[in-house]
Amino acid sequence: MDFLELVKAIFYGIVEGITEWLPVSSTGHLILFEEWIPFKGLSDSFLEMFRVVIQLGAILAVVVTYFDKLWPFGKNKTENQKLATWHLWFIVVVSVIPSAVLGLLLDDWFDAHFYNAPVVAATLIIYGVLFIIIERYRADKEPTIKSPYKIPIKTALLIGAFQVLAIIPGTSRSGSTILGAMLLGLSRTAAAEFSFFMAIPTMLGASGLKAVKYALDAETAMTSTEWGALMIGCVVAFVVSMYAIRFLTDYVKRHTFSSFGVYRIVLGAVVLVTGFLPK
């Protein structure tokens, strides 16, 4: 194994664990890391798969953190609470239908044509501005939905439509779903939590699809360094995600998302400049 590449996998896991849940775009950050700390000696097909499958660690963090809310068979739950949990799972499944359909059809095409610095920079900046505008628009408005358990089916489907926007690199899956949920009347906390729950089937499906494509298309078997990088990246992403999820849920109880909007605008400018630097 190449020790230096495994150390890089730790940093990639940290980036994934933080940026997957905060509405700042994991893709934008990974583009910067690929510019500054590129893997060496690993195949392009592996790296394409690695960027997606590393999310499995982040998904597990959601399951562990919210296990009581997501597990419908808890012994301490009343029948009404169990029914509410089943309802939550139902609307989560409904919400991911739009992105599942369009993702299967368009994901590879968007990666091929839009995975570049100008597009990522533009989406980072545009959604950063939108976060600031929407927070100001909602400043004097009371949210109508304060719990993910109370989300109507129609609203869940509409939030799912916003998630489709995340197919454009730099948009941020959590960013698009949180923005959409807030526009549809959800509180910041409910929007963030529902975005986490939507990630479970969405990211499982994306990771599974990418892994299968890699297994079918790869010309050679994964090297020991590639296996090590993937395992380390997933484990680190899991540990860091545990803290990132708790941070965000605590943060939005006392603050708005405007600071993330400012951060996105600054990052977008950095990505734009970095993307055009001479190699």
Query: Could you report the per-residue pLDDT of 178-222, keeping only the tens digit for each?
Result: 999 999 999 999 999 999 999 999 888 888 888 888 888 877 778
CA 148 – CA 145 distance, rounded (Å) = 8
Q: What is the mean pLDDT of the chain?
A: 88
Distance from C-alpha of 119 to C-alpha of 117, rounded to nearest angstrom: 6
Both tokens of 257, joined, read 């998302």
Distance, in Å, from the CA atom of 223 to the CA atom of 227, rounded to the nearest integer, reads: 6
User: Poorest-confidence range of 36-50, 59-73, 176-190, 246-260?
Assistant: 36-50
Give the lowest-confidence range in 42-51, 106-115, 126-135, 211-220: 106-115
Q: Note whether 170 and 124 are within 8 A (CB).
A: yes
How far is C-alpha 13 from the geometric centre of its chain's CA atoms? Answer: 13
Q: What integer pLDDT is reported at residue 2 of this predicted model?
A: 83
Q: How many residues does the chain have?
A: 279
pTM for this prediction: 0.86
Residue 279 has pLDDT above 50, yes or no: no
pLDDT of residue 93: 94
Interaxial angle between packed helices 188-217 and 44-53, expressed in degrees from 0 to 180 and rounded to the nearest 10: 150
Compute how many other C-beta atoms are within 10 angstroms of the C-beta atom of residue 276. 10
Percent share of the chain, pLDDT over 90: 50
Tokens of 276: 């055009």
Listed in sequence order, the residues at least 6 apart from 254 whose beta carbon sits closer than 8 Å to its beta carbon are none
First and final C-alpha spacing in the chain: 27
CB distance 190 to 128 below 8 Å: no
| Cβ atoms 177, 195 nearer than 8 A | yes
